Structure 1
Amino acid sequence: MIALIALVRKDLILYLNDKRALMLHLLMPVVLAAFFGSLFGGGSEAKTGKIDVGLVQLDQSDSGKKIAAGLQADSALKIIELSDAEAQDRVRHGKLSVAVVIPAGFGEQAADALFSGHNKPQLPVYYDPSQSTMLAMVKGLLTQQVMQVTSAAAMSPKGNKTTERQLAEVRDKAAKDPEQAQLSEFLTSLKKYQDQRLAADAEKEAAAKASGKPAPAEAPVGMSMPYTTQDRALSSGPRYNGYAHSFAGMGVQFILFMGIDMGIGILLARRMGIWNRLLAAPVSLATVLLGRAISGAIIAMGLMCAMFVCAMLIFKVQISSVGGFLGMAASFSLMTAAFGLLIAAFGKTPEAARGIATFATLIMVMLGGAWVPSFIFPEWMQQLTLVVPTRWAVDGFDAVTWRGLGLDGVLAPIAVQLGFAAVFGGLAVWKFLRDQK
């Protein structure tokens, strides 16, 4: 036991005196986690940014102006009025994701096509091909405004001329087509309604002039969205914090890099003969390997706790279950230490082992959702990544931070980490014992 404690103490002192390793394994993940966290929503108090949308307003009719006003009033958009050439130039150079052109005469043409379905006007939309998701969002909001304004223009008293033109087209076809006959009846009823509204408005204006008071505002007509959404972000505990996931992902990645350094250190010790001299001392191979594993796990545990202390103090990340977090940190630290021993056991040279281990680690953290959340992956890939230990590690740290789960919510990830630690450690010990014979 004294020899084991001495070996662990020696490894800890050597690591703490290595300022480069401390900077790489502690400072770098904090910096990268802060960057990625800001990209994925930031803290719980962060507000969703508006989408910059260029607007080329060529239609100066009432309908065209109302469509533009509706887009400008939308809380999700920041409208920038531009000329057609400016809009194309900004989108082409990546300064705008989407630009919308409301061409001249669009409002009148859209009202004419509302019931007939013919001669639909085109509404040009310029977009950056790398921002196709923005295109879908803007087209949805644009559809809402166009339908509301166009239907109001077609059904209001001022739209009686449009209705007359549509009636003239439909009546010629009504005798042969039953659907056109029904549409003719509808448009006739709409024309009567518009005529009545015009007469009523004229009476109101006359009465207002006689009394010297302004005429009452016209009541809005036309179709509008028949609902509003009530957006509520739900989680089991703290409000969502983008930094929580990024610290989990970057912590997992750089602690695995520490495990690689641990394994490479054993290979370097072998090359320089230090390993053989250590085994020549009155200590068993099992004691030496156990000492390395314990020291590596302690270092990994300390790094993970230090990272999340920074996350809590600087970025307001909350831990819902201290016991669950410590369980996840401990199990992941053991898996990392076993991973380092596996690299040392099967590595031929330090240079080759570092390259292969770094590549394998990057693949694991990528598939594990350390860089971007795993729910963004396709369904088949989400199922495939369940065989990767990093997926369980990241999900486990997410569970005890922004998801607000307790110890029972991370029992499965802890078990998986311990399982991988047993497999990695068992393979490493088997290889070391085989090479010693």
Structure 2
Amino acid sequence: MKKFIAIITKELRMLLRDKIGLSILFIMPLVLIVVMTVIQDAAFHSISEEGVPLVFVDNDKDSLGISIGNGLKESTLCAFSDQIDGKPATAETARAAVSEGKFMIAVIIPEHATQKIRTSVEGLVEETMGLSEIGEIRHYVDSVEILMYIDPVAKNSIVVTVTSNLHEFIAAMKTKLMFETFSEQIGEIVPDGVSKPSNAYAKTQIVSYKQEYASKLEGGVTPNAVQHNVPAWTIFGIFFIVVSVVSNIMKEKKDGSAFRLHTMPTSYSQLIIGKLIVYVTVCTLQFFAMMLVGVYFMPVLGLPALDPGDSYVGLFFIGISTAFAATSFGVLIGTVAQSEQQGAILGSLSVLLLSALGGIWVPAYVMPGVMRTISEFSPMNWAMDGFYKLLFRGEGFFSTFAPGMKLIALSFVFLLGASLFNRYKKRA
């Protein structure tokens, strides 16, 4: 125990000596959260994306469903799918898939939708051609409700664009049905005059849309810049501890303290555990500071407050897991690097690369297909997935278990790599 206390004391002293570096660890992520959130807030609702994962359920099996399905397939807007895990999608499985983050949007076409529209159009044509009185055909009017399940992670611009495309597909089909019906009626009888549709039909919305966020939180969570940027830049700030860890290890190598530590009756694993305790604690303090900024400071700027979800245990677990992975990564880079300059460059560039691949700078779901697959191997992407499950989808602690354990497992891989490389250097 005395050895651990001595190691931790040594790490704390080295950390506290670099007051500028320590302040940067806390101030830089906080500034990034505020600046990036304010900058992206206005653009958050207006940027259009392509290749959005979309699942389509056609319960109509007629002209409307076929028309919309073909239109979505040909559109560059979305990555179309009508199957989930190799099985035809249903309304229930589509909602579950969206809530799990497998798709951004699910579009559900109800049964008999085409027939309802066809009946309404026929009634409209009959009234227009003066073949029936309004009172006699009012029963023809029926409403078709197209249901859309939306992942709370999805930006509002995606929802608007998809809805706009659906409007175009349906308008084209309604026009086609109307011309077909007119042709049929004219073929039977040519009236003396054609009157305009009555206001009763002009005000009738044959097709309506219902949008729901596929979230387990009460009332759902409306996506906004705060909910996206606070967890994203929190992860980035935590991983930036890599630079400080590398700098610490490089100083030990430069002033000879690393050699003296190896001559003491203390194992390499004990030295590493001491570093982990100190730097994971620092990362945890970073995490709480950035969460508090999201909850309490963002409303001061006129932005929405961060909704931390319903599972504080899950939030803490994914934060600790991220801190453990970041610190372990720093230990590996610090062990491998041969000089302080090399370590600083390698550490900072690797964090920037992982953040770009992990969806910190650009959401992973708007990346090209190949890059989206690569992003799944970034630890920052795993951390983002854990935060999304809590902050957007309203899931509990157990939903963070998989991404959290992946981060912890990767941490042990980093530490094992650092240990093996250290042994290799001692033998060389």
Which amino acid letter does the alignment assign opposite residue 302 of structure 1?
A: L
Residue 310 (structure 2) pairs with residue 310 (structure 1): no
Q: Choose the corresponding residue for 1:245, options 228, 242, 267.
A: 228
Alpha-carbon RMSD across the aligned residues, in angstroms, is: 4.1
Aligned to 1:125: none
Runs of 4+ in 1 over 4 A off after TM superposition: 38-42, 46-51, 133-148, 182-191, 220-225
After TM superposition, the structure 1 = structure 2 runs for residues 18-37 of structure 1, keeping only pairs within 5 Å, are: 18-37=18-37
Q: What residue number does 2:4 align with?
A: 4
Equivalences for residues 111-150 of structure 1 within 5 A: none
Query: Is the 2:329–2:414 contact (alpha carbons within 8 Å) kept by the matching residues of 1?
Result: yes
Given that 1:241 and 1:317 are in contact with CA atoms closer than 8 Å, whether structure 2 keeps it comes out as no
Q: 1:434 to 1:143 in 2, by over 3 A?
A: closer
For 2:366 and 2:373, the matched residues in 1 are separated by: 12
- Return the letter of the residue paired with 1:239: V
How far has the Cα of 1:435 moved from its partner?
1.9
Aligned length: 308
1:425, distance to aligned residue in structure 2 (A): 0.3
Contact kept, 8 Å, 1:400 with 1:406, in 2: the verdict is yes
What is the percentage of aligned positions where both structures have the same residue? 21
Q: In the alignment, which of 204, 219, 243 is matched to residue 260 of structure 1? A: 243
Distance 1:224 1:218 in 2: 10
Q: Show the counterpart of 2:327.
A: 337
Mapping of 1:1-400 within 5 angstroms?
1-16=1-16, 18-38=18-38, 192=191, 194=193, 197=195, 219=199, 226-237=206-217, 239-242=221-224, 243-315=226-298, 316-319=305-308, 320-400=310-390
User: Which string of whole-angstrom CA distances, capped at 9 and with x for unpartnered residues, describes residues 91-133 of structure 1?
Assistant: xxxxxxxxxxxxxxxxxxxxxxxxxxxxxxxxxxxxxxxx9x9
Preserved CA contact (<8 Å) 2:14 2:248: no
> Deviation digits for residues 352-407 of structure 1, max 9, x if unmatched?
22222322221211111112222222344333322221111111122222322111
> TM-score, normalised to structure 2's length?
0.60
Deviation at 1:348, TM superposition (A): 1.3
Corresponding residue number in structure 2 for 1:122: none
Describe the shift of the 1:136–1:283 C-alpha distance in structure 2 as closer, same or farther (beyond 3 A): closer
Larger radius of gyration: 1
Do 1:324 and 1:406's aligned partners in 2 also have CA atoms closer than 8 Å? yes
Q: CA separation in 1, counterparts of 2:403 and 2:47?
A: 37
Quick check: 1:37–1:244 contact (8 Å CA) kept in 2? no
Q: Is the 8 A contact 1:240 1:403 kept in 2?
A: no
Kept after mapping to 2: 8 A contact 1:30/1:247: no
Q: Residues 425, 136 of structure 1: CA spacing in aligned structure 2 closer, same or farther, 3 A cutoff?
A: closer
Cα distance in 1 for partners of 2:184, 2:417 equals 83
Are the counterparts in 2 of residues 392 and 417 from structure 1 also a CA contact under 8 Å? Answer: yes
Gapped regions of structure 2 (runs ≥ 5): 49-156, 299-304
TM-score normalised by length of structure 1: 0.59
Identify unmatched segments of 5+ residues in structure 1. 52-130, 156-178, 199-216
1:22 to 1:191, Cα distance in 2 relative to 1, 3 A:
farther
Letter in 1 for 2:383: A
